Structure 1
Amino acid sequence: MSTRSGDPRESTAKQQASLRRLAHILDTAIPLPGGYRIGLDGLIGLIPGIGDLIGAVFSSYIIGQAYQLGAPRMVLLRMGGNVAVDTIVGVIPMFGDLFDFAWKSNRRNVALLDQYLANPRKIKRRSTALMIGLTIGLVAVAIAIVYAVIHLLVWVGTSLA
């Protein structure tokens, strides 16, 4: 995207401001008593069956803009993880709806993009480390589950014999 002045930094700043406004609308535009704020994403998530998917589509727009602004794969994966958590947990009745109001994945992702644009090396390194750590953690959990199932089956087999 170019502006009349042709300055790419001005264009980037305008895109960032636009994404901040969108994240505000989706996550914090509606004030509640007590100082808490919710957004349209949480309200849309209340629609049974498709609400969380509609919210994920809006959230994907922010990730697409981050891609256009040059965010690397690891940062985009981290942003996608924020949306995935929001979407997956959001489908749990009652708890998911409350979680939707608190998680605010869009604001997280815009903040992550802002941090990346301000300090690309640092955020890319942190995102890579986080994704590697999560992968190792998920593999460890999967191994523990397989180990537990095998031992449970052995125990059941020896108990029945």
Structure 2
Amino acid sequence: MHKMNAEHSKAQLKKLAWLLDDSIRIPGTQLRFGLDGLIGLIPGIGDAAGAIISSHILVQAAQMGVPKSLLLKMAFNIGLDAVLGAVPVLGDLTDFVWKANQRNVQLMNDYFDRPGKTELHSRFFVGFAGLVVFGVVVLIGMLGFLLVRWLWLSVQGG
């Protein structure tokens, strides 16, 4: 992507992240949230709609050449925001803390400023997340095996 177009895209994505995560200040406080928090209040579809809108930043980062490991980290931020947002009350409170869109724009900008360091960190993150998922799958498998074994022994009277 041409440098001038890339700078324009980065500026536009920064504005979008601000609009989604920080554009509204609660009067009398320093607490801020954005349209993502308001959209998340719509029962049933709000958090999914917010995730879809947030995915625009992810798509733009991919078009700008951000590596897959960093895109996975950005997708994790969007997913976590959507999952936390689906939890009543907790999800609304996390809109003040977990600003996935601003995190993602910052990750993207960090990559363009320090590509080697940022990509290395994102690879470690993806590797660690993969290990956690693998561990959870193994744990669920072991618990399932133990449950079936216990049920079998109970039925056999042993």
The normalised TM-score by structure 1 is: 0.88
**Residue equivalent to 1:30:** 24
SS at match of 2:42: coil
* Deviation for aligned residue 1:159: 4.3
Structure 2 counterpart of 1:147 = 142
Please list, as runs of the form range in 1=range in 2, the aligned pairs for 1:40-119 lying within 5 A after superposition.
Answer: 40-119=35-114
Give 1:99 deviation, angstroms.
Answer: 2.2
Please report how far the alpha carbon of residue 63 of structure 1 lies from its aligned counterpart in structure 2 after TM superposition. 0.8
Deviations 1:7-63, CA, capped at 9 Å, x for gaps: x33322221111111101100111123311111101100001111122112111111
- Give the corresponding residue for 2:130: 135
Residues 31 and 96, structure 2, Cα contact 8 Å, conserved in 1: no
Q: Distance in 2 between matches of 1:98 and 1:134?
A: 25
Identity value in percent: 39
Letter in 2 for 1:56: A
Q: CA deviation at 1:71?
A: 0.5
Deviant stretches of 4+, over 4 Å: none
How many matched pairs? 155
Asked if 1 retains the 8 angstrom alpha-carbon contact of 2:21 and 2:34, the reply is yes
Give me the CA root mean square deviation. Answer: 1.6
Q: Distance in 2 between matches of 1:56 and 1:156?
A: 41
TM-score by length of 2: 0.89
In the alignment, the residues of structure 2 paired with residue 69 and residue 41 of structure 1 have an alpha-carbon distance, to the nearest angstrom, of 24
- The separation in 2 between residues aligned to 1:75 and 1:158, in whole angstroms, is 48
- Please say if residues 22 and 34 of structure 2, whose CA atoms lie closer than 8 Å, have aligned partners that are also in contact: yes
Q: How far off is 1:86 after superposition?
A: 1.0
Contact 1:27 1:38 (8 Å CA) reproduced: yes
- CA offsets per residue over residues 133-157 of structure 1, 9 Å max, x none? 1011111111112112222332344
- Deviation readout 1:105-150 (Å, 9 max, x if unpaired): 0000000000001111211121111111101111111111211222
